[in-house]
Amino acid sequence: MNPLQSLVRWLGTHTLFPASRLNARAETMLCIAALAAADEAAALAGTRHLIKSRDGAKDSALRSYNYRRNQVHYVCDNSAKV
């Protein structure tokens, strides 16, 4: 929904907008806030894909690296002394 439409709906709900109005300064401030919200929403629309896709090769390399690190603990057994 358009921010200005949501502003008019909010004004209609909370202030009975067509019948009674707020102070001119208050209405101006609300309209400017709605326009700023619309501008921010438009700016965020271009940066929707901030989450990077998974890199399969990197994930595989990390899994194998962790597997090799875990195997190190099983190689050395000094419990049997000669």
pLDDT in tens, 13-62: 888 777 888 888 988 898 898 888 888 877 777 666 666 678 888 899 99
Q: Are 30 and 36 in contact (CB under 8 A)?
A: no
pLDDT at 82: 60
- Which residues, at least 6 apart from 15, have a Cβ–Cβ distance to it below 8 Å? 21, 22
